């Protein structure tokens, strides 16, 4: 049986908020016990490679420090199950999840602030990764342990067969997409290939997540900071409108995006690419082991995204360690976080051909080429360092991502919709969201 934890949180209309009934910051009145085992939740498939790698890291941590860790892998309904435990005032000690959860977990009162001075290896973190875990007030509420960015996967065999070069700009990317769609690159005599594989489902905001790789490269944005932690919507700015128009034309005029894209979450788009139905895919490095096995390493190449109207910015993401409120073993929490971000912890997290949890290292003393000889990983690391663009750490990024996904998906699904009008409506929604979160500039 686990001890009940007084964390000062409650449930209201399925949202977690700080109840204000505790005498101090979340978890400060919990008796501490450095021998208490740490319950760790990781958002990954039970029994899968991610769980195996997390357990490997936990075992190494136990051996190095003596602290005990119990690993639980959860993928489906992760947030719901976490909310249930919060309602019981019995959160796990540590949660490993997406960096985009920083603002949400902090505003809900479910995580404690991390005192950087108590994390010995925090000074070794890259500035980019560290900043992604800070809230606008500069405080740290998560520790990054893995980073990633998007690159362009291209069917190299198709490209070479059609006599095309690697695209260096958006015009060349569109040209290659058209060739892959109409040039029968697989040689089967059928019109059954698409130029660009895109995840444009509204589920979990996938369309927004995918489109960000094009939006930021065009100089557009979802929301922009005006100073002092305040934001304004930006989807109807000229740069954003141009980005949406260009991307929409790929589907509505050029017909180079795979059929059914607007209903496809990532599992379906992954299958489309590896089934030889699409020639290009913008995605992170985590799929390399899978595609090497299903497609063959020699069939595709990994290259930086071609430059957009302004730059080559692409989506940067990461995974973070959250010290959950109410833990009776805060020393153990800090020790685990410190071990995971150390050079040794990072290398352990990167081990294996497929069972790894660290995509790109966040410790600046770790050279990825010393751990992985495959030069494609170095390509991803360089893209992350030069062009990685994180979503802002606002109180709750989820509604921003979801609302923009709904609009982007709809504009590609229905080519008759008035693009500027729909983006203006979207900005109205975003304004309301920013106001609800208390960060609106207006």
Could you tell me where the beta strands, DSSP code E, fall in 164-313? Answer: 194-197, 223-227, 230-233, 278-283, 300-303
Measured CA to CA in angstroms, residue 310 lies from 185, 210, 214, 307 at distances of 31, 18, 10, 7
**Cα 77 from chain centroid?**
17
Predicted structure pTM score = 0.91
> What pLDDT was estimated at residue 29?
77
Q: Which of 114, 61, 126 is nearest to 363 (CA)?
A: 126
- What tens-digit pLDDT sequence spans the chain (442 residues)? 344 343 444 333 333 333 333 333 444 579 999 999 999 999 999 999 999 999 999 999 999 999 999 999 999 999 999 999 999 999 999 999 999 999 999 999 999 999 999 999 999 999 999 999 998 788 999 999 999 999 999 999 999 999 999 999 999 999 999 999 999 999 999 999 999 999 999 999 999 999 999 999 999 999 999 998 999 999 999 999 999 999 999 999 999 999 999 999 999 999 999 999 999 999 999 999 999 999 999 999 999 999 999 999 999 999 999 999 999 999 999 999 999 999 999 999 999 888 899 999 999 999 999 999 999 999 999 999 999 999 998 999 999 999 999 999 999 999 999 999 999 999 999 999 999 999 999 8
> What pLDDT was estimated at residue 138?
87
Domain residue spans in the chain?
A: 9-148+316-389, 151-314+395-436
| Tokens coding 382 | 């360089």
Whether the Cβ atoms of residue 285 and residue 359 lie closer than 8 Å to each other: yes
Could you tell me where the beta strands, DSSP code E, fall in 331-403? Answer: 388-389
CA distance 3 to 322: 20
Angle between helix 330-341 and helix 343-350 axes, rounded to 10 deg: 70
> What pLDDT was estimated at residue 28?
53
Measured CA to CA in angstroms, residue 104 lies from 100, 108, 130, 378, 395 at distances of 8, 6, 17, 32, 5
151-314+395-436 to CATH, choices 3.40.190.10, 3.90.1150.10, 3.40.50.620, 3.40.640.10: 3.40.190.10
Tell the CATH topology of 9-148+316-389.
Answer: D-Maltodextrin-Binding Protein; domain 2 (3.40.190)
On the CB side of 52, CA atoms within 13 Å amount to 10
């Amino acid at each position: 049986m686990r001890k009940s934890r007084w964390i000062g949180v409650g449930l209201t209309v399925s949202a977690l908020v700080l109840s204000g009934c505790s005498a101090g910051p979340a978890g400060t009145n919990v008796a501490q016990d450095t021998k208490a085992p740490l319950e760790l939740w990781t958002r990954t498939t039970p029994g899968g490679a991610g769980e195996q790698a997390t357990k490997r890291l936990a075992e190494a941590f136990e051996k190095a420090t003596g602290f005990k860790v119990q690993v639980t892998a959860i993928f489906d309904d992760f947030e719901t199950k976490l909310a249930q435990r919060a309602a019981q005032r019995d959160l796990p000690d540590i949660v490993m999840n997406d960096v985009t959860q920083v603002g949400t977990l902090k505003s809900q009162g479910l995580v404690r602030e991390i005192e950087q001075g108590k994390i010995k290896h925090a000074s070794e973190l890259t500035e980019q990764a560290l900043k992604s875990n800070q809230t606008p007030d500069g405080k740290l509420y998560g520790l990054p342990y893995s980073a990633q960015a998007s690159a362009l996967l291209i069917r190299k065999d198709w490209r070479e067969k059609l006599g095309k070069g690697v695209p260096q700009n958006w015009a060349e990317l569109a040209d290659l997409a058209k060739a892959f769609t109409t040039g029968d690159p697989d040689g089967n005599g059928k019109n059954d290939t698409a130029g660009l594989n895109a995840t444009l489902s509204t589920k979990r905001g996938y369309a927004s997540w995918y489109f960000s790789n094009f939006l930021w490269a065009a100089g557009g944005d979802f929301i922009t900071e005006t100073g002092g932690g305040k934001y304004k919507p930006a989807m109807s700015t000229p740069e954003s409108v141009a980005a949406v128009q260009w991307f929409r034309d790929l589907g509505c005029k050029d017909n180079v995006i795979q059929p059914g894209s607007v209903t496809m979450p990532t599992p379906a788009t992954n299958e489309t690419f590896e089934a030889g139905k699409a020639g290009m895919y913008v995605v992170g490095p985590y799929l390399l082991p899978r595609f090497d096995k299903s497609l063959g390493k020699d069939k595709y190449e990994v290259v930086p995204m071609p430059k957009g109207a302004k730059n080559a910015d692409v989506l940067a993401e990461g995974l973070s360690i959250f010290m959950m409120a109410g833990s009776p073993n805060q020393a153990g929490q800090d020790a685990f976080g410190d071990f995971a971000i150390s050079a040794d912890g990072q290398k352990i997290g990167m081990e294996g051909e497929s069972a790894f949890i660290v995509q790109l290292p966040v410790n600046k003393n770790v050279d990825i080429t010393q751990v992985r000889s495959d030069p494609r990983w170095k390509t991803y690391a360089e893209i992350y360092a030069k062009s990685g663009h994180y979503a802002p750490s606002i109180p709750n990024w989820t509604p921003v991502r979801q609302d923009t996904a709904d609009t982007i998906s709809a504009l590609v699904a229905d080519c008759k919709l008035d693009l500027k009008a729909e983006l203006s409506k979207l900005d109205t929604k975003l304004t309301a969201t920013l106001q609800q979160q208390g960060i609106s500039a207006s």
